[in-house]
C-alpha cells in the first residue's frame, strides 16, 4: 500500500486556499452515513423517507481508510476543523476507529485539527466516553424541544427527550466540552419552547444555539412563513433573561453570540435565512459516498470516490479538491429570494451533513 504521509501541497495553490470570493477553506464536514434513527421533519420527512427508503449500499460508502486519506489531503490544503455528521453518525459501526484515525492528522504547521461530531444523541450516552478516548474534541447535539410532545412532533419518532438529555450529560461527564445544543425553530411547531430551552440550559456550561428553519434539501416543504427570525427568538428570551451581545470567536463563525447579563451562560443564533453569512463561509462537505459539495444548498458535487478507487495519487486528488474550491462562488443564502434560487434543486441535508 502506498505511503501517503509525506504528501506535499500542489505547488499551483498557495495557502490558505481561497475561492472566487476570497473565502478560505478551513472546515470539512464529513457525512459518514445516510441513515438516521429519527425522521426530523426539516431533514428526513417520513412521508418521503419512509421505512422502504433505499439507503446507499455498503460498498458505496467511503471506508474509514478512504475517509482518512481524503481528510489528510483536506488538512494539507488548510482545513483545521473536521466535523463528522450524517444522517446520524453514531449509527456508523466502529465510528470510534475513524475518530482515532482523524485525531492523528496534522496540519502543515504540525497542529492537530479539531475533531467534532454532530449527533441527535440517542446513542450518545453509551458512546461518549469511547469517543473522547479516541480523540474527539467536541460534540454538538440536536434537540428541538424539551417536552416529549414537541420533540416527537419535530423528530417524528417515539424517542423520549430523556434519552437525548442522558446523552448530553454523558458528553459533559466525558469532557467533550463545550457541549453545544442546536434547536431548529419552526413556527407553529416548537417556538413556544424557546424560553423553556433557554431556562433549562442556563448555568449548565452548555451553549444553546437557535437555528432559523432553513430550506435544506428539496423535501421538507419549506415556506418563509415557517421561519421564526433570529430577532424574534432573541426578543422572546430577553423577556425573561436580559442578553448582551458578544464578539465572534473567529472569522466565519456562523452563530451570532450572546450572553446572559447575569452571567448565566452563552447562547447563539444561526440566522441563515434572515442574515445570510455566505460571505464568510469556509466549509466544504464530503458526502457519504465521496462527493465534494462546496455549499449546504448545493445541487451536485464533485466525485472523489471514483478517482480514489481507480488509483489516483495524492497529488491528483488534492488538485481536484483545490481546483473545485478555487472555482467556488456558492452563496445560496444571499440569493435565496431571487428567481434563480427559486428553481434551484438541492441535495438532502442528511446526505451531506448539516
In a domain, 1, yes or no: no
Is 174 a domain residue? yes
Half-sphere exposure of 209 (CA within 13 A, CB side): 22
Task: Give the pLDDT confidence score for residue 165 in this predicted structure.
Answer: 98
User: Does residue 291 sit in helix, strand or coil?
Assistant: strand
240 occurs within a structural domain: yes
Task: Supply the mean pLDDT for the chain.
Answer: 90
- pLDDT-derived band at 341 (thresholds 50, 70, 90) equals low
Residue 325: closest CA among 352, 298, 346, 306: 298
Rounded (5°) CA angle 32-70-96: 45
Lowest mean pLDDT among 40-54, 181-195, 248-262: 40-54
What is the C-alpha to C-alpha distance for residues 135 and 146, in angstroms, rounded to an integer?
30
pLDDT confidence of residue 159: 96
Report the CATH number at residue 205. Answer: 3.20.20.70
Facing residues of 258 across strands?
245, 267
Q: Is 333 part of any domain?
A: yes
Cell readout for 349 is 441535508
Residue 6 banded pLDDT, cuts 50, 70, 90: very low
pLDDT at 201: 98
**pLDDT confidence of 59, banded at 50, 70, 90?**
very high
Beta bridge partners of 82: 28, 115
State the total domains in the chain: 1
Q: What's the confidence (pLDDT) of residue 149? A: 97
Question: pLDDT > 90: what percent of the chain?
Answer: 73
CB crowding 197-230: b at 16 or more within 10 Å, else e? bbebbbeeebbbbbbbbbbbbebbebeeebbbbb
The CA-based diameter of the chain, rounded to the nearest angstrom, is 61
Triad 308, 313, 315: Cα angle to 5°:
115
pLDDT in tens, 85-111: 999 999 999 999 999 999 999 999 999
Note the pTM of the prediction, 2 decimals: 0.91
Does the residue 330 lie in any domain?
yes
Query: In the structure, what pLDDT confidence band is assigned to residue 13 with cuts at 50, 70 and 90?
Result: confident
Whether 292 and 71 have beta carbons less than 8 Å apart is answered as: no
**Position with higher pLDDT, 285 vs 341:** 285
How far is 343 from 257, CA to CA, in rounded Å?
A: 33
- pLDDT at position 339: 47
CA angle (217, 218, 222) in 5-degree steps: 90
Residue 271, all three cell numbers = 440566522
Q: What is the pLDDT of residues 131-173, one digit of tens each?
A: 999 999 999 999 999 999 999 999 999 999 999 999 999 999 9
Is cis: bond before 16, omega within 30 of 0? Answer: yes
The pLDDT, as a whole number, for residue 10 is 56
**Which tens digit of pLDDT belongs to each residue from 194-237?**
999 999 999 999 999 999 998 765 566 668 889 999 999 999 99
Residue-level pLDDT at 279: 84
Q: In this structure, is residue 49 part of a structural domain?
A: yes
Q: How many CB atoms lie within 10 A of CB 134?
A: 18
Minimum mean pLDDT range among 66-75, 197-206, 225-234, 250-259: 250-259
pLDDT at 288 over 50: yes
Q: What is the mean pLDDT of residues 284-292?
A: 96
Confidence of residue 51 (pLDDT cuts 50, 70, 90): confident
* Residue 17 covered by a domain: no
- Sheet architecture: strand order including 114-119: 243-245, 256-260, 266-270, 207-212, 180-185, 138-142, 114-119, 81-85, 27-31, 283-286, 291-293, 302-303
**Cis peptide bond upstream of 140, omega within 30:** no
CA distance 147 to 80: 37
Which carries the bigger pLDDT value, residue 129 or residue 49? 129
List CB contacts of 27: < 8 A, sequence separation 6 or more: 79, 80, 81, 82, 83, 252, 282, 283, 284
Q: Check whether 283 has a pLDDT greater than 80.
A: yes
Residue 228, CA atoms < 13 Å, CB-side half-sphere:
20
pLDDT at 1: 43
Structural domain contains residue 5: no
Range of the domain at 159: 27-352
* pLDDT for position 344: 58
Amino acid at each position: 500500500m502506498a505511503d501517503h504521509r509525506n504528501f506535499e501541497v500542489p505547488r499551483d495553490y498557495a495557502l490558505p486556499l481561497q475561492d472566487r470570493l476570497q473565502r478560505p477553506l478551513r472546515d470539512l464536514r464529513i457525512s459518514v452515513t445516510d441513515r438516521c434513527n429519527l425522521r426530523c421533519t426539516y431533514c428526513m420527512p417520513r412521508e418521503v423517507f419512509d421505512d422502504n427508503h433505499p439507503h446507499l449500499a455498503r460498498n458505496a460508502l467511503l471506508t474509514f481508510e478512504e475517509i482518512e486519506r481524503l481528510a489528510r489531503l483536506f488538512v494539507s490544503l488548510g482545513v483545521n476543523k473536521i466535523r463528522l455528521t450524517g444522517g446520524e453518525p453514531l449509527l456508523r459501526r466502529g465510528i470510534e476507529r475513524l475518530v482515532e484515525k482523524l485525531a492523528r492528522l496534522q496540519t502543515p504547521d504540525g497542529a492537530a485539527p479539531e475533531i467534532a461530531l454532530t449527533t441527535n444523541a440517542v446513542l450518545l450516552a453509551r458512546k461518549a466516553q469511547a469517543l473522547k478516548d479516541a480523540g474527539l474534541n467536541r460534540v454538538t447535539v440536536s434537540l428541538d424541544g424539551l417536552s416529549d410532545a414537541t420533540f416527537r412532533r419535530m423528530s417524528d419518532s417515539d424517542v423520549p427527550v430523556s434519552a437525548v438529555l442522558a446523552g448530553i450529560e454523558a458528553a459533559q461527564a466525558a469532557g467533550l466540552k463545550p457541549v453545544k445544543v442546536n434547536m431548529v425553530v419552526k413556527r407553529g411547531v416548537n417556538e413556544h419552547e424557546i424560553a423553556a430551552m433557554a431556562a433549562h440550559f442556563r448555568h449548565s456550561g452548555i451553549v444553546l444555539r437557535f437555528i432559523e428553519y432553513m430550506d435544506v434539501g428539496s423535501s421538507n416543504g419549506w415556506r418563509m412563513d415557517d421561519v421564526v427570525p433570529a430577532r424574534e427568538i432573541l426578543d422572546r428570551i430577553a423577556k425573561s433573561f436580559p442578553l448582551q451581545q458578544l464578539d465572534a470567536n473567529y472569522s466565519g463563525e456562523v452563530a451570532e453570540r450572546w450572553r446572559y447579563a447575569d452571567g448565566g451562560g452563552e447562547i447563539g443564533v444561526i440566522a441563515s435565512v434572515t442574515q445570510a453569512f455566505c460571505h464568510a463561509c469556509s466549509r466544504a462537505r464530503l458526502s457519504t459516498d465521496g462527493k465534494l459539495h462546496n455549499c449546504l444548498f448545493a445541487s451536485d458535487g464533485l466525485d472523489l470516490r471514483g478517482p480514489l478507487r481507480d488509483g489516483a495519487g495524492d497529488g491528483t486528488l488534492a488538485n481536484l479538491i483545490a481546483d473545485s474550491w478555487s472555482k467556488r462562488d456558492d452563496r445560496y443564502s444571499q440569493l435565496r429570494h431571487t428567481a434563480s434560487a427559486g428553481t434551484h434543486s438541492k441535495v438532502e441535508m442528511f446526505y451531506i451533513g448539516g
